[in-house]
Amino acid sequence: MPIIKQEDFGTEKAPEWAKVRGGINAMGCSTRDKDGAVELHFHDAEEFWFVVKGKARVMTEGKEYIVEKGDIVCTKMGDEHAILEIIEAPYTQIWIESNLRGKKRRGHLHKGEDE
């Protein structure tokens, strides 16, 4: 199935062919208000955020950036990243994680705890 409904984002309902060919591990659409910061974490996959609304201060590769509609945040496997502050709410992003690699752990991983 080439269509994934919004309610299925972040679930195992991605097309099997996308997973087999090195495609998508997980995906989702997140909308956050002014209190919508996300803790510093990393993944066993690359992650891409497509900003579709609002503005935020984020961290990736040890640097802070301001992102807004039209920007794409690209995070390499193992690099810590976070949403530090929502500057203009609502902040909405679509996120996609590539296939798991390395230890192939799912979800938000934290230095010291998950290494």
Residue-level pLDDT at 12: 63
Residue-level pLDDT at 8: 61
Residue 65 CA to residue 36 CA, distance in Å, equals 16
| DSSP one-letter code for 80 | -
Q: What is the pTM of this model?
A: 0.81
Read off the pLDDT of residues 49-90 as tens digits, 9 standing for 90 and up: 999 999 999 999 999 999 999 999 999 999 999 999 999 999
Q: Would you state the structure tokens that stand for residue 8, as one six-digit string?
A: 């299925």
Q: Residue 28's beta-bridge partner residues?
A: 95
CATH homologous superfamily of 6-98: Jelly Rolls (2.60.120.10)
| DSSP one-letter code for 42 | B
State whether residue 24 is helix, strand or coil.
strand
